[in-house]
Structures are given as structure tokens and as C-alpha cells.
């Protein structure tokens, strides 16, 4: 099973700052990686697919990069609504998949 390790566990930032979230896979997943955002009490929502493509309706301040084993989600300038938990998901053996443990982006 492919294990995804997200870091840091918690990121404390202020609105307007840049957020950089990391996701590392235990073996190559090519570009088959997605990112999700989850706000309290809500289901996750798809942000990024295929490592670097924004899902429908996702603002341009969200960007994804990486391939193989190392991936990054960047939020260029945090808006108040961006404080949430972010999960990466690998899909290299689709429809089997695994999720990372999550990174919480909190207000500093």
C-alpha cells in the first residue's frame, strides 16, 4: 500500500500570507494525485486533480505541483475562507486509493 505523508501537521498563518503544504508518497504515483479541502462539519471538496489542475470553480490562488513522490499545494494569498484541513490522495492504482493524514491551516 502506498503511504502518503503530509507536512506540516498544522500551519499557522495570517490572512494574506502564502501557504505551502507538502505531500510525500512512499513510492511513485506519477501525477495521479488530488488535493481536497475540508471545512468543519462539511464533506471534503476537490481542489486539485492530476497533481496540478484546478477543479471546476477553484480560485487561481490555489495551485498544485509535483510528480513522482513529492507534491506541493500552494495557496498564494490566504483568504479567511481558506482556513481548513487539506488532504492529498493518491490514485495511481485507481479506483484503489489512499489519503494523507491531513494538514490543518489555522489562523495565527
Partner 1 sequence: QLQLQESGPGLVKPSETLSLTCTVSGGSISSSRYYWGWIRQPPGKGLEWIGSIYYSGITYYNPSLRSRVTMSVDTSKNQFSLKLSSVTAADTAVYYCARDRDWNYGFDYWGQGTLVTVSS
The residues that touch partner 1, with contacts defined as CB under 8 A, are 1, 31-32, 34, 36, 38, 42-46, 49-50, 55, 87, 89, 91-92, 94-102
For partner 1, which is the closer residue by CB, 45 or 77? 45
Cell numbers 486509493 correspond to: 97
Q: How far is the CB of 14 from partner 1 (least distance, A)?
A: 25
Q: How far is the CB of 68 from partner 1 (least distance, A)?
A: 15
The DSSP bridge partners found for residue 24 are 5, 70
Q: How far is the CB of 16 from partner 1 (least distance, A)?
A: 28
For partner 1, which is the closer residue by CB, 44 or 66? 44
For partner 1, which is the closer residue by CB, 18 or 96? 96
Q: Could you count the other beta carbons within 10 Å of the beta carbon of residue 4?
A: 21
With CA atoms as reference, report the closest residue to 29 among 96, 103, 104: 96
Q: Please give the grid coordinates belonging to residue 48.
A: 486539485
Amino acid at each position: 500500500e502506498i503511504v502518503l505523508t503530509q507536512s506540516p501537521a498544522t500551519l499557522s498563518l495570517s490572512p494574506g500570507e502564502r501557504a505551502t503544504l507538502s505531500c510525500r508518497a512512499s513510492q511513485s504515483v506519477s501525477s495521479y494525485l488530488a488535493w481536497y479541502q475540508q471545512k468543519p462539519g462539511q464533506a471534503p471538496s476537490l481542489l486539485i486533480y492530476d497533481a496540478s489542475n484546478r477543479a471546476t470553480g477553484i480560485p487561481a490562488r490555489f495551485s498544485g505541483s509535483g510528480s513522482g513522490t513529492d507534491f506541493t499545494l500552494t495557496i498564494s494569498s490566504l483568504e479567511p475562507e481558506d482556513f481548513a484541513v487539506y488532504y492529498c490522495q493518491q490514485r495511481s492504482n485507481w479506483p484503489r486509493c489512499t489519503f494523507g493524514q491531513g494538514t490543518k491551516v489555522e489562523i495565527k
